[in-house]
Amino acid sequence: MSPSKTQYNVSLRGDAILTSPRWNKGTAFTLTERKAFGLTGRLPYRVNTLDEQCKRAYDQLQSRHSPIRKNSFLQSLKNQNWVLYFALLSRHLSELVPIIYTPTEADAIANYSHLFRRSEGLYLTFPDQETMEQDFLEEIRGRSIDLIVCSDAEAILGIGDQGVGGIGISAAKSVIYTLIGGMDPSRALAVTLDVGTDNEDLLNDKLYVGWPNKRVRGEQYDRFIDKFVQLVRKHFPHCLLHFEDFGVTNAQRILERYRDTHSVFNDDIQGTGAVTLSCVMSAIGITKTKLCDQRFIIYGAGSAGLGITKQLRDAMVATDGTPEEEANAKFWLIDKHGLIRQSTPDVRKDLHAFIRSDEEWASFAGEIGLLDVVKQVKPTVLIGCSTHAGAFTEEVVKSMAAHCERPIILPLSNPSRLVEVHPSDANDWTGGKALLATGSPFPPAKMLNGKDYIIAECNNALIYPGLGFGSMLCQSRKMTDTMIIAGARRLASLSPALKDPDNALLPDFGDAPQVNFEVAVAVAEQGIEEGVAGVPWSKEEVRAKAKAKLWEPVYVEYVYDKHGED
Ligand X SMILES: NC(=O)C1=CN([C@@H]2O[C@H](COP(=O)(O)OP(=O)(O)OC[C@H]3O[C@@H](n4cnc5c(N)ncnc54)[C@H](O)[C@@H]3O)[C@@H](O)[C@H]2O)C=CC1
Residue 75: name the closest of 95, 104, 51, 49 by CA.
Answer: 104
Region of 50-58, 108-116, 332-340, 423-431 interacting with ligand X (CB under 6 A)? 332-340
Asked if 413 interacts with ligand X (CB under 6 A), we say yes
CB nearer to ligand PYR: pick between 178 and 430: 178
User: Is 204 labelled a binding residue?
Assistant: no
* Nearest residue to ligand X, scored by beta-carbon proximity: 302
Q: Is 420 in the site for ligand X (CB under 6 A)?
A: no
Task: Examine the residue annotation and report whether 545 is marked as an active-site residue of this protein.
Answer: no
Q: Which stretch binds ligand X (CB under 6 A): 27-35, 82-90, 297-305, 373-381?
A: 297-305
**Phi, psi angle pair for 293, to nearest 5°:** -85, -10
Stretch that binds ligand X, among 85-93, 303-311, 499-507, 514-522 (CB under 6 A): 303-311
158 binds ligand X (CB under 6 A): yes
Residue 335: contacted member of ligand PYR, Mg ion, ligand X, none (CB under 5 to 8 Å, by partner type): ligand X
User: Which one of 194, 245, 335, 525 is in contact with ligand PYR (CB under 6 A)?
Assistant: 245
Stretch that binds ligand X, among 171-179, 199-207, 406-414, 495-503 (CB under 6 A): 406-414
Identify the burial level of 371 via C-beta atoms within 10 angstroms of its C-beta, where 0-12 means exposed, 13-18 middle and 19 or more buried: middle
Question: Is-catalytic flag, 173?
Answer: yes
Residue 51, marked binder: no
Helix (H, G, I), strand (E, B) or coil at 472: helix
Q: Which position among 75, 278, 414, 438 is part of the footprint of ligand PYR (CB under 6 A)?
A: 414
CA distance 342 to 203: 38
Q: What is the DSSP letter of 458?
A: -
Which one-letter amino acid corresponds to residue 3? P
Residue 350: CB atoms within 10 Å: 20
Shortest CB 464 distance to ligand PYR, Å: 8
Rounded alpha-carbon distances, angstroms, from residue 393 to 209, 294, 371, 412, 489? 40, 21, 9, 15, 32
Nearest approach, Cβ of residue 315 and ligand PYR (Å): 20
Quick one: 413 or 430, whose CB is closer to ligand X? 413
Segment holding 189, helix H or strand E: strand 188-194
- Rounded least distance, CB 249 to ligand X, Å: 9
- Residue from 42, 227, 336, 352 touching ligand X (CB under 6 A): that is 336
Q: 446 pairs with which residues across the strands? A: 452
H-run or E-run covering 560: strand 557-560
Closer CB to ligand X, residue 242 or residue 388?
Answer: 388
Which helix (H) or strand (E) segment holds residue 224: the answer is helix 218-235
User: 414: annotated binding-site residue?
Assistant: yes
DSSP tag of 405: S
- Beta carbons within 10 angstroms of residue 366's beta carbon: 8
459 is in an annotated binding site: yes
Amino acid at 225: I
Which one is catalytic: 173, 310, 330, 549? 173
Under rule CB under 6 A, residue 300 binds ligand X: yes
The helix (H) or strand (E) run that includes residue 123 is: strand 122-125
Closer CB to ligand X, 194 or 335, in the complex: 335
| Interacting residue with Mg ion among 184, 268, 314, 518 (CB under 5 A) | 268
Per-residue x/- track, 143-172, ligand PYR (CB under 6 A): --------------x---------------
Instruction: List, in sequence order, every beta strand (DSSP E) within 267-396.
Output: 296-299, 331-335, 338-339, 381-384
8 A C-beta contact, residue 350 and residue 306: yes
User: What is the pairing mode between strands 445-446 and 452-453?
Assistant: antiparallel
Cβ atoms within 10 Å, residue 402: 12
Measured from the CB atom, is 181 or 553 closer to ligand X? 181
Task: Compute how many residues bind ligand PYR; rule: CB under 6 A.
Answer: 8
> What is the amino acid identity at position 562?
K
The reply on whether position 157 binds ligand X by CB under 6 A is yes
Beta partners for residue 334, in sequence order: 299, 339
460 binds ligand X (CB under 6 A): yes
519 binds ligand X (CB under 6 A): no
What is the C-alpha R_g of the chain? 24
Our finding on whether 290 is near ligand X (CB under 6 A) is: no
How many residues would you count in the chain?
A: 566
268 is an interface residue for ligand PYR by CB under 6 A: yes
269 or 284: CB nearest ligand PYR: 269
Angstrom CA distances, 492 to 273, 281, 292, 498, stand at 13, 6, 17, 9
Task: List the catalytic residue out of 25, 78, 101, 177.
Answer: 101
* C-alpha to C-alpha distance for 242 and 232, rounded to whole angstroms: 11
DSSP-derived 3-state class of residue 244: coil
CA distances for 246 relative to 156, 409, 447, 493, angstroms: 8, 26, 38, 31
Does position 460 bind ligand PYR by CB under 6 A? yes
Q: Is 201 annotated as a binding residue?
A: no
Which one, of 129, 188, 189, 190, lies nearest residue 165 by Cα? 190
Contacts to ligand X from residues 230-249, by CB under 6 A: 248
Expressed in angstroms, the distance from the first to the final Cα of the chain is 15
Residue 102 touches ligand PYR, criterion: CB under 6 A: yes
Which of 245, 420, 518, 525 forms a contact with Mg ion (CB under 5 A)?
245
Question: What residue numbers does the annotated binding site for (S)-malate cover?
Answer: 414, 459
Q: Which residues bind ligand X (CB under 6 A)?
A: 155, 157-158, 248, 268, 272, 275, 299-305, 334-336, 385-388, 412-414, 418, 439, 458-460
Binding residues for ligand PYR, rule: CB under 6 A, are 102, 157, 245, 267-268, 414, 459-460
Query: Which residues contribute to the annotated binding site for a divalent metal cation?
Result: 244-245, 268
Sites of contact with Mg ion (CB under 5 A) = 245, 268
Active site residues: 101, 173
